[in-house]
A and B are shown apart, each in its own frame.
Chain A
Amino acid sequence: MLGWIQNLGHSALGFVERVGRAHLFLFQALAAIPSCFKNPYLLTTQVYSVGVLSIQIILISGVTVGLVLGLQMYNTLTDFGAEDSLGTVVALSLVRELGPVLSALLFSGRAGSALTAEIGLMKATEQLSGLEMMAVDPIKRVIAPRLLAGIISMPLLAAIFSAAGIIGSYFIGVNQLGVDAGVFWSQMTAKVDFYDDIFNGFIKSLVFGIVATWIAVFEGYDSVPTTAGVSRAVTRTVVHTAFAVLGLDFVLTALMFGEV
């Protein structure tokens, strides 16, 4: 029993220590972000790597989600004779919730895992130590450009996801199920508010971008520099990002839309 309590205490202390280390790491990385603008090449390379290369999966997923969402919503709305609201319902679902959340989860799976693996392997092959010994701060050189690239890319990817989803639902709703195109767009533009919906969705995706990239770069930087250690770090990145994004989504939704 005593041993069990000791193990529990040890695990709790380890968890608190790691959380503290992660926050210190985040502050260091954020403080290093201005240095990214001295070498824009590093930043643009990372925006390409984590952002542009994620567009394909975001586009395909967005269209697919839009198709499914359009079909499901149409069937439900028809029961109430409200199929004209299809554009509005789909757009609100995507812009407020599905766009930011699913983009963050996809981003974590494609770009976050790659960031963790890359940084973890840089650590395992002593490249990070090599930078330090060459008097180059790895936080400035490696971490900050990747963190900023994730923060820049995530809202753009969420916007692309939402746009692709709307196009998918338009295709299924208007072209296949017979919803009027003019009604589809006019209902959507009338009901979707720029501040309440689009801006809040942007804030969500920005927060998810910070959290998802922070977890990815921290897990890589803090990984045990072995094959198994990097593998575990990549797994933790995907799992922790999913928990963090879904948990934060509830908190942000309650703050943004709780009184509506």
Chain B
Amino acid sequence: MEYPELQRQDGRSPAVDGDRPAAANAADGEDLLVKIRGLHFAYGERVILDNVDIDIRRSEITTIMGPSGTGKTTLLRLIGGQVLPNAGSVEVDGQNVPTLSRSDLYELRKRMGMLFQTGALFTDLSVFDNVAFPLREHTELPETLIRDLVLIKLQAVGLRGAKDLMPAELSGGMSRRVALARAIALDPMMIMYDEPFTGQDPISVGVIMQLIRRINQYMGLTSILVSHDVAEASAISDRIYLISEGKVVEQGSPTELQESPSEWTQQFLRGKADGPVPFHYSAQPFADELMAIE
């Protein structure tokens, strides 16, 4: 695979493949891009997130993991300001997202990218026009420059040759790569990935993993992944948060989590069928039910 020669926007030299970004070791208080404190969110009486604290450090890849339905995607929507929390704060680059005015929120979103699970490409626009969309909406650049920028972004994800295709002609993996090119079109400070590996074949998973890591390194981005693909997410993440039943169960580097004494963490990371999360749904004793007279 061919990657374009990109320079880090923060001026640091790019890390070699497999290296951890420098911020992974140096980060602390002032190095946080996203700071979530006491976050509480509920749909009616159903609590999704309960008193959640999360720190996302600049230039790192942070993964939010947990079983389905634990509010991982909701967390991304809260960071993006698409839904409002019942309590708590979500600070992105020093701005508390829930309290921002609509215009300030839109200004902040211009510096965020989001890769949706479905890709969310506009089906009536070609690949080229999809990637050009944010540039045409938010810049006054001449069409010739937009063309060059779009080709650069498509080259970065390996799909320059697919620029004239329509979204319906793309495979699932290609759709996500186009969506990734669109997400980086405005050179954002961070990208949020919602389940980027779900439903992909092994080659597509490998391609997307490489792209996430390389784009994060070369463009000096901060990446937030939501995933329950343990192996893939562990391979590219600097830090992982495990969420279950609306609470942060554990956090740390992939290595730290692998060595965690927590039975729940071990069951989740190793995919054990039984453990703290039982195999059997709660029911009366089997023998009692078999002997019961209707």
Give A residues with C-beta under 8 Å from B. 125-127, 129-130, 132-137
B123 within 8 A of A: yes
Given A130-B120, A130-B121, A135-B106, 12 more A-B residue pairs with CB atoms under 8 Å apart are A125-B120, A125-B123, A126-B118, A127-B120, A129-B77, A129-B116, A130-B116, A130-B122, A133-B80, A133-B109, A134-B182, A135-B138
B138–A130 contact, CB under 8 A? no
Q: Which of B62-88 touch A at CB < 8 Å? A: 77, 80, 82
* Interchain CB contact under 8 A, B114 and A130: yes
B138 touching A133 by the CB < 8 A rule? no
- A126/B117 contact (C-beta < 8 A), A133-B112, A135-B110, A135-B138 known: yes
Q: B292 CB to closest chain A CB, in angstroms?
A: 29
- Whether B122 pairs with A127 at a CB distance below 8 angstroms is yes
Residues from 83 to 126 in B contacting A, C-beta threshold 8 Å = 106-107, 109-110, 112-114, 116-118, 120-123
**For the complex, what is the distance from the CA of A16 to the CA of B121, rounded to whole Å?**
35
**Residue of A125, A127, A132, A137 touching B82 (CB-CB under 8 A):** A132
Contacts of B182 in A (CB 8 A): 134
When C-beta atoms are compared, the residue in chain A nearest to B138 turns out to be: A135
Q: Which 8 A-B pairs have the closest CB atoms?
A: A130-B120, A126-B120, A135-B106, A135-B109, A133-B114, A126-B116, A135-B110, A134-B134
Given contacts A134-B133, A134-B134, A136-B137, contact A129 B120 (CB under 8 A): yes
A133 and B82 contact, CB distance less than 8 A: yes
Give chain A residues whose Cβ lies under 8 Å from the Cβ of B121: 127, 130
CB distance from B208 to the nearest CB of A (A): 17
By beta carbon, the residue of chain A nearest B182 is A134
- Chain B 124-140, CB-CB to A under 8 Å as 1, else 0, gives 00000000011001100
Q: In whole Å, how far is A216's beta carbon from the nearest beta carbon of chain B?
A: 18
Cα A134 to Cα B191 in complex, Å, equals 12
A135 vs B105: C-alpha distance when bound (angstroms): 8
Chain A residues within an 8 Å CB radius of B133: 134
Interface magnitude class on chain B: 20 to 34
Shortest A150–chain B CB gap in Å is 18
Contacts of A129 in B (CB 8 A): 77, 82, 116, 120
Which single member of A127, A132, A133, A137 contacts B123 (CB below 8 Å)? A127
Closest to B107 in A: A135
**Contact check: which of B77, B80, B114, B118 meets A125 at CB < 8 Å?**
B118
A137 to B82, CA, bound (A): 12
Does A134 lie within 8 Å of B82, measured CB to CB? no
Q: Which residues of B contact A134 (CB under 8 A)?
A: 109-110, 133-134, 137, 182
Nearest CB to that of A45 among chain B residues?
B124
Contacts of B134 in A (CB 8 A): 134, 136
Chain A residues lying within 8 Å of B120, measured Cβ to Cβ, are 125-127, 129-130
Q: Would you mind naming 18 contact pairs between A and B with Cβ atoms under 8 Å apart?
A: A125-B123, A126-B116, A126-B117, A127-B123, A129-B77, A130-B114, A130-B122, A132-B109, A133-B80, A133-B112, A133-B113, A134-B110, A134-B133, A134-B182, A135-B107, A135-B109, A136-B137, A137-B106
C-alpha gap A126/B116 in the complex (Å)? 7
A154 to B80, CA, bound (A): 38
CB distance from A156 to the nearest CB of B (A): 24
- Give B122's nearest chain A residue, CB to CB: A127
The CA-CA distance from A127 to B107 in the complex, in Å, is 19
A212 to B123: give the CA distance in the assembly, Å: 25
A17 to chain B, nearest CB (A): 13
CB B104 to nearest CB in A, in angstroms, measures: 11
By a CB distance below 8 angstroms, the chain B residues around A127 are: 120-123
CB closest residue in chain B, given A130: B120
Q: How far is the CA of A127 from the CA of B121 in the complex (A)?
A: 6
A-side contacts of B110, CB under 8 Å: 134-135
CA of A133 to CA of B117, assembled, Å: 14
Residues of A close to B77: CB separation below 8 A: 129
Shortest C-beta distance, B85 to chain A (Å), equals 17
Alpha-carbon separation in the docked complex, A134 to B106 (Å) = 8
Nearest opposing residue in chain A for B167, CB measure = A125
In the bound complex, residues from chain B placing their C-beta under 8 Å from that of A126 are 116-118, 120
- Could you tell me the distance between the alpha carbons of A126 and B109 in the complex, rounded to whole angstroms? 16
- A47–B201 Cα distance when bound, in Å, is 42
Residues of A within 8 A of B117 (CB): 126
Q: Whole-angstrom distance between the alpha carbons of A236 and B133 in the complex?
A: 32
Q: Shortest CB–CB separation between residue A160 and chain B, in angstroms? A: 27
Minimum Cβ distance to chain A for residue B176 (Å): 12
Closest chain B residue, CB of each to CB of A124:
B118
Residues of A within 8 A of B138 (CB): 135
